[in-house]
Amino acid sequence: MNTPMDSPAGSVRLWTHELAFPLTPATIFGREAPLGLEIGFGNGAFLVDFARRHPDWNFLGVEIAAASIDRGVRRLRREGISNARLYCGNGRLILWDTLPEESVHRIVVNFPDPWPKEKHEGRRLLQSEFFELATRRLHPSGEIWLTTDHPDYFDFAVSQAEATGLYEIHIEAAPSETLQTKYAEKWQSMDLEIHHAKFIPLEKSPRDFCPRVKEVPVAHARLQGDLSQVGSFQKESHAFEGGHVVLLEASRSLDGDRITFEVIVEEADLRQALLVEARPCQTGIYVGLKHFGAPVQTRGVRLAVVKVADWLESRGMILMERVE
């Protein structure tokens, strides 16, 4: 995420490919400034409004849906906003694994998915662990803003923050700037109540919340054998401490020389899809990551290469070298 690319409009810079652990905000924005973080920016209305109101701030918007990222990028370009950046992925990952301590001045959560079914409560963002984590990432003057139309979720979030004993909580009318979203406009047109709270940390959690995902050297392997003799493939799942590697599919190239494995790697809040390739080289069969999608080089990604090599070895190929 820290590779700059100028947009066609020339006013918005996109950050692609590489994601550092931790990620210094000044690296993303090219300047030191207070950092605002919106988790779940939806159509980007609040994000653009905040960035325009606060040109002296940097603002990072996070969304899990690629379609929202696309809409957000187009909106930033259209509005000429240069002090905002977008990330497609998990908001907790950004806060826990990439942003350093005391780096965030405001966390904004506008109309989050309430996950109303009791069996889905564990998927809610604003739980006690998140509030504890935030005390380590928020600047000493930082705070969390929550705005929602869902009374049960609001009560849940407040009780979760109270349970930590780490926050002063202010329940008040939602400021006008949080009411720029399509959901806020919808609920206001229906004359429904909107709930708002500010969570101000009183002290830090005793947990240090060290990054769970770490970058590691890329693994590769070299085997002896005939790839053309490798036959059927069945999905495999491998658990490791902190995650899973799933070998989903294997397909052969048209010339028959290479086999490409589609792999899913899940660790902490990071889920990556990647391709591992087995192909002929001068000294045998080389197994390594295919240059596609630029996955973050993590322990799980390294293990994916190892598991593909293990699978090929189980099909009669001879392992000559493995670098883990």
**Count of domains forming the chain:** 2
Same domain, 308 and 246: yes
The answer to the question of residue 213 being in a domain is: no
Same domain, 27 and 172: yes
Same domain, 163 and 286: no
Which domain-ending residue is among 171, 201, 231? Answer: 201
pLDDT of 187 > 50? The answer is: yes
Same domain, 159 and 17: yes
Candidate list 6, 70, 113, 257, residue with the active-site label: 113
pLDDT band at 297 (very low <50, low <70, confident <90, very high): confident
Strands 236-240, 243-252: pairing kind: antiparallel
Which domain-ending residue is among 148, 173, 201? Answer: 201
Task: Assign 93 to helix, strand or coil.
Answer: helix
User: 180 is written with which tokens?
Assistant: 């720029």
What is the Cα–Cα distance from 116 to 152, expressed in whole angstroms?
Answer: 8
* SS (HEC) of 74-90: HHHHHHCCCCEEEEECC
**Full-model pTM:** 0.83
Report the range of poorest mean pLDDT among 12-26, 135-149, 218-232: 12-26
Radius of gyration of the chain (CA): 23
User: 236 is written with which tokens?
Assistant: 């495999």
pLDDT given at position 259: 96
pLDDT band at 177 (very low <50, low <70, confident <90, very high): confident
CATH number of the CATH domain containing 119 = 3.40.50.150
Amino acid at 172: E
The answer to the question of residue 209 being in a domain is: no
Same domain, 188 and 42: yes
pLDDT given at position 96: 95
Q: What is the mean pLDDT of the chain?
A: 89
The answer to the question of residue 294 being in a domain is: yes
pLDDT given at position 214: 84
User: 318 is written with which tokens?
Assistant: 């001879």
Domain of residue 316, residue span: 220-323
The answer to the question of residue 17 being in a domain is: yes
Count of positions (residues) in the chain: 324
**Cα separations (Å) of 117 from 122, 146, 280?**
10, 20, 52
Burial (Cβ within 10 Å: 0-12, 13-18, ≥19) of residue 170: exposed
What is the Cα–Cα distance from 260 to 253, expressed in whole angstroms?
Answer: 8
51-77 burial by CB neighbour count: b if 16+ within 10 A, else e?
beebeebbbbbbbeeeebbebbbebbb
Same domain, 272 and 313: yes
Which domain-ending residue is among 136, 168, 201? Answer: 201
The answer to the question of residue 212 being in a domain is: no
Same domain, 37 and 138: yes
Contact yes or no for 83/15 (Cβ under 8 A): no
Q: Per-residue pLDDT tens for 158-172?
A: 999 999 999 999 999
Same domain, 115 and 257: no
The answer to the question of residue 30 being in a domain is: yes
What is the Cα–Cα distance from 241 to 239, expressed in whole angstroms?
Answer: 7
Same domain, 124 and 268: no
pLDDT of 17 > 50? The answer is: no
pLDDT band at 293 (very low <50, low <70, confident <90, very high): confident
The distance of Cα 237 from the centroid of its chain, to the nearest Å, equals: 22
Is 6 part of the annotated catalytic residue set?
A: no
Q: Of 27 and 278, which is predicted with more confidence?
A: 278
Q: How many CB atoms lie within 10 A of CB 236?
A: 15
pLDDT given at position 153: 96
